[in-house]
Every structure is written in structure tokens, then in C-alpha cells.
Amino acid sequence: MNLLAGRALLRSMHPFLPPELEGRFSLDAALRIGTLPVVLASTRPEETLRAYIHSYLKEEIQAEALVRSLAGFARFLPIAALLHGQMVNVSSLARDAGVARTTVNDYLEILEDTLLAFRVPGFEARLRLRERKHPKLYWVDAGLVRAAKDQLGPLAVEERGPLFEGLVANCLRAWNDYRGLYDELNYWAPTEARGLEVDFLLRRGKRFVAIEAKAGTRYRPEDARGLDSIAELPRVSRRLLVYSQSPRLTTASGIEVVGFDELVTLLERGRL
């Protein structure tokens, strides 16, 4: 007998969002060590992150017998971290990890079930351009990504882009869980135009909001190529190009260029 039928509610908790840190939020720190409460409370955040990954493997994966081979899953974990913010080709990932394709599918589901990562599907529409169908993988926290790669310490230049995109993805997801801001989250990337992509396409009802995330601090026209192209998608009512820091401006084609702090304000106030 299910005594909770009709009464059980599911609530999701996420790493700290910028406003929850009440003025103590640092974008650089969020990209470097993440915003998990246990990490921010630690005097040795990098050691705490390493311990978190170790405990995850031993206490969550091994103790719960979630996989047949702990060694295989341990090999998979840093490879999956390298795919943070990228499209996931299961066959390629299986080759890199040295496991079967079906095993990779199981591993990805475990990452999601244990709340370490999530996938964003590609948007599909009947346009003249056919969209890609591989989902993109995002980890729930930048610190966990870096710990899984064993790449803690100062941020490398090549890390900033994927980590910033991941931070935006997690903010969108968290605020939606807390406030119900949209109905569906996808990314957009037509197969016939390699290199053309929009990181996030939010649907609410029949309306779409397109968002591109860039870790830079200065507007560059080439950063808006995807947002310019997605304008042909019906019912795209708003296009945002989000930089880590940027003064607000609007391009000739109507794209709003904003800094990360303004995106946070829009999400917090439900004005996206």
C-alpha cells in the first residue's frame, strides 16, 4: 500500500546560487571550486573536493553496488568530466573509457540518478536545417568537474568557457526547479552548419528564449552567430548573449548583450 499516494512532493536542492551567498559570491571562485556548501565551509576546499569524489566512488557507487566494475566507472568519471558542456557521443565515450556502449549508457544514467550531472537534449523542429540529436552533458558543480579531472588549482584559460557555460546551465536549471520559469530546456545546433550553436533554448508555452554563454568580457560579433541564425525559428521572443562581465547593449539584430550578474537578476526576479 502506498500511504503517500497523492501527497508526496519532490523538491530539488542545488549548489548555492549567487544571491544565496549574500554578497560573498565570487565568479572566479564559483568556476574554480564551485558552490557546494560543504566546500565553501571548508578551510581546504580543494582537499574537500577530492574527498567528495573519493567518497562518491566508495560510499555511493561501490557500497550501493551500482556498477559491476568500480575500476571501469572510475576510468569513466574523468572522461565524463572532460565532456562538461559538450555533446555526448556514447560510442566515442565508450572507446575512450574502454567499456561497452551499453555500459556507458548505464554510467550516464548513474551520474544523473546520483545527482552529479544532467543532460540537455538537442532541440528538434521542422525547419530547413536538421538539428543534432546528441544531448549535452553538464555536471552540477564546477568544483566537482575539476576534482573529477584532478585539475584543481588556478583556472586554466581553456577551462573558463565550459565552466562558465556550465554555471549558466546550472543557474537556469536551479531557478526553474525553484520558480518554474520554463517548460523545457534544450540546446540548438543544426547539423548542416558545423560550428553554429545556441547553448540554451528555453520554452515556456509557445514562446522561446535563446541564450548563449561566453566567458569573455567584451562583445564580439562572431559570438552572436548562433543567436543571429536562430532568429528564423518561429516564436523566439528574446535572445540573450551572456558574458562573464559586460555592459548592457543591444545589437542591430535585437540581441541583448548582458553580464552574468544581470542574468542572475533576471532569473531571480522571474523576468527572463
Segment 4-24, tens digit of pLDDT: 555 556 778 999 999 999 889
Task: Report which of residues 128 and 155 the model is more confident about.
Answer: 155
The percentage of residues in the chain with a pLDDT greater than 90, rounded to a whole number, is: 80
Burial of 16-53, coded b for 16+ CB within 10 Å and e otherwise, reads: bbbeeeeeebebebbbbbbbbeebbebeebbebbbebb
pTM of the complete model: 0.93
Say whether pLDDT at 90 is over 50: yes
* Mean pLDDT over the full length of the chain: 92
Give dist(CA 148, CA 169) in Å, integer: 19
Q: What is the mean pLDDT of residues 249-270?
A: 97
E strands along 82-195, which residues?
86-87, 117-120, 136-139, 184-188
Q: What is the mean pLDDT of residues 81-96?
A: 92
Q: Which residue type does 198 have?
A: V
Domains in the chain (CATH in brackets) are 26-154 (1.10.10.10), 156-272 (3.40.1350.10)
Which is nearest to 117 in space by CA: 15, 224, 194?
A: 15
Residue found under cell 520559469: 181
The percentage of residues in the chain with a pLDDT greater than 70, rounded to a whole number, is: 94
Least confident among 98-107, 176-185, 257-266: 98-107
What phi and psi, each to the nearest 5 degrees, are found at residue 80? -65, -35
Confidence of residue 28 (pLDDT cuts 50, 70, 90): very high
